[in-house]
């Protein structure tokens, strides 16, 4: 299905199948964890044919990253507040809220799972990372266009996102607003 057809049928069969499959993946992740279910089980749970899943996503790894990205984009859209400090503070606070939630380590768990599933898993992990980095970079580019000096996307990853992820992973929360703002201020 090409983009034009998809756009003409926003509530059509394709959108319905997409939602059912995403829901099946989310359920199976929370019931069994990553790495413990197959495309066949996703399809059965979603009530669609295996071939529908393969045709649309190609592999379980691509499907998993599609589900993760959809969720991340809904929960943590890149903010556009008009200033770099505002954007980074808002974004950091969003990420902090998201990763301290009940299913907060989604991205870390997914990256760990994809790293263990060979070449296809690594490619899916890289695609996920590149898409989120691209979004972050466009936020930083807007600052540069306004004439603000901006850090590199990798600096944001290293000194704002990485510390929050590792603290949550090792149970060193909570991520207080002071702590999160402090990471942003230190980078800026």
CB atoms within 10 A of CB 17: 17
Per-residue binding letters, 35-64, with a second copy (x by CB under 8 A)? x-----------------------------
- Interface residues for a second copy in 74-133 (CB under 8 A)? 105, 108-109, 111-112, 115-116, 122, 125-126, 129
CB atoms within 10 A of CB 138: 12
By beta-carbon proximity to a second copy, the closer residue of 18 and 163 is 163
- Interface residues for a second copy in 136-155 (CB under 8 A)? 154
By beta-carbon proximity to a second copy, the closer residue of 43 and 67 is 67
Residue 2 CA to residue 14 CA, distance in Å, equals 11
Residue 65 CA to residue 124 CA, distance in Å, equals 6
Closest CA to 137 of 154, 120, 125, 123: 154
CB of 148 to a second copy, least distance (A): 21
Residue 157 touching a second copy (CB under 8 A): yes
By beta-carbon proximity to a second copy, the closer residue of 31 and 80 is 31
Is the backbone peptide bond immediately before 174 cis, with ω within 30 degrees of 0? yes
User: Of 60, 92, 161, 180, which lies in the binding site for a second copy, with binding defined by CB under 8 A?
Assistant: 161
By beta-carbon proximity to a second copy, the closer residue of 15 and 154 is 154
CB of 64 to a second copy, least distance (A): 15
- What token pair was written down for 77? 């859209």
User: Of 45, 56, 142, 167, which lies in the binding site for a second copy, with binding defined by CB under 8 A?
Assistant: 167
Residue 30 touching a second copy (CB under 8 A): no
Query: Residue 35 burial (CB < 10 Å; 0-12/13-18/19+)?
Result: middle
CB atoms within 10 A of CB 10: 8
Question: Helix-strand-coil percent breakdown of the chain, rounded to 5?
Answer: 75, 0, 25
| Interface positions with a second copy (CB under 8 A) | 33, 35, 105, 108-109, 111-112, 115-116, 122, 125-126, 129, 154, 157-159, 161-163, 165-167, 169-172, 183
């Amino acid at each position: 299905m090409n983009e034009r057809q998809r756009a003409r049928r926003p509530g059509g069969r394709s959108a319905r199948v997409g939602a059912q499959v995403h829901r099946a993946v989310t359920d199976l992740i929370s019931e069994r964890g990553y790495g413990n279910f197959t495309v066949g089980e996703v399809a059965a749970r979603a009530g669609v044919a295996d071939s529908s899943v393969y045709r649309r996503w190609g592999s379980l790894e691509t499907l998993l990253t599609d589900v993760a990205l959809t969720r991340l984009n809904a929960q943590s859209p890149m903010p556009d507040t008009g200033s770099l400090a505002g954007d980074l503070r808002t974004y950091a606070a969003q990420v902090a809220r998201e990763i301290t939630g009940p299913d907060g380590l989604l991205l870390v768990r997914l990256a760990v799972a994809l790293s263990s599933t060979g070449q296809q898993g690594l490619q899916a992990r890289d695609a996920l990372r590149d898409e989120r980095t691209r979004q972050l970079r466009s936020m930083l580019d807007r600052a540069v266009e306004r004439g603000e000096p901006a850090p590199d996307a990798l600096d944001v990853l290293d000194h704002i996102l990485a510390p929050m992820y590792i603290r949550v992973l090792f149970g060193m929360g909570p991520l207080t607003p002071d702590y999160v703002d402090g990471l942003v201020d230190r980078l800026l």
